[in-house]
Amino acid sequence: RRLTLVRSGRKIGAWTVAVGAAKTPTPAGRTFLLGLLKPSDPKPSPLIMPVGAHSETLDTFGGGPGTVAFHGWADESVFGRAVTHGCVRVPDDALTRLSKVPLGTPVLITV
């Protein structure tokens, strides 16, 4: 429930985030930043950053293959809680910082 951004071994940002609920957990392990998408409808998030991981419990989600992603969320009450379908919901300032991270950057998800 904590996102830490590290560059060259130095912590450059940390945020409390929302993660997958018990029935739809965010999968733990090593992955990478796969893309940066700007949906035509910016609600609930103006940016979506999929990683190379997929839900362990959902074959599909939102018309896609159940890919896990970082994305924003307007309701700040979710941060620090396990309430998502597997994605990681992040605060606006974290979303802005993550949008500058190069594609292919390693991501480590721990439980």
Find, among 39, 65, 67, the residue nearest to 52 by Cα: 67
Position 65: which residue type?
P
Is 71 catalytic? The answer is: yes
The 3-state DSSP class for residue 92 equals helix
Q: Which of 26, 71, 79, 90 is catalytic?
A: 71
Which CB contacts under 8 angstroms, 24+ apart, belong to 66-69?
Answer: 67/34, 68/26, 68/27, 68/31
Q: Which of 17, 18, 47, 87 is catalytic?
A: 87
Cα separation, 97 vs 5, whole angstroms: 9
Catalytic site positions: 71, 87
